[in-house]
A and B are shown apart, each in its own frame.
Chain A
Amino acid sequence: EIVMTQSPATLSVSPGERVTLSCGASQSISTNLAWYQQIPGQAPRLLIYGADIRAAGIPARFSGSGSETEFSLTISSLQSEDFALYYCQQYHNRPPYTFGQGTRLEIQ
């Protein structure tokens, strides 16, 4: 099973700041990585797939990068609605498809 590790667990930032979240894979997954945003009490929402492709309707301030084992999600200028939980997920080859443990963005 491929283990996904996200860091940090919690990030305290201010609106308008630029922030980068990290995600690592225990083995190479090429660019088979997705990012999701989850607001507490809601279902997750797809932000990024293919490591760097924004999903439909996702604002341009969200960008993804990386390949193989190291990935990042950057939010260029935090808006109030961006304070949420963020998960990475690998979908390399066959199941199981695994998630990172999540990074919580909170208002500083």
Chain B
Amino acid sequence: EEQLVESGGAVVQPGGSLRLSCAASGFTFDDYPMHWVRQAPGKGLEWVSLISWDGSNTWYADSVRGRFTISRDNSRNFLYLEINSLRPEDTAVYYCAKGRLLSNWFDPWGQGTLVTVSS
């Protein structure tokens, strides 16, 4: 069974930093691009970032570019999201999700990890 498990969410002060992790299992991790998607409390879904299967290419939403860094460790089957200069509007549940090589729908999703930015 394909499974993704996020961790690393916390309460952080504005301007702070955090690293989120996503552990993958049940599939050949380095065959697939991976994504982060977030959902603010009571709001809809927002795509955040994509990393290619080998980590050589990355893409970001305008709202996070320059502050967030996506990376992966294919030897350990882990996906990461380094979040810097946190803002209150970054408060959300952050999901990792598996993509596809040429068609980036998201399946499966992890259970999510909550990041709260508050003083």
Contacts and interface: CB of A to CB of B under 8 A. Distances in A.
Interface size class of A (residues with CB under 8 A): 20 to 34
Consensus secondary structure, chain A interface = loop
A99 B47 CA distance: 8
Interface string B92-118: 000100000001111111111000000
B61 interface: yes
Interface string A92-105: 00111111111000
B109 A99 contact: no
Interface stretch (A44-52, A65-73, A74-82): A44-52
Interface in A17-74: 32, 34, 36, 38, 42-46, 49-50, 55
A29 to B, nearest CB: 11
Nearest to A56: B107
Contacts of A100: 44
A83 interface: no
Contact of A97 (B47, B108, B112): B47
A66 to B, nearest CB: 15
Interface of B: 35, 44-47, 50, 59-62, 95, 103-112
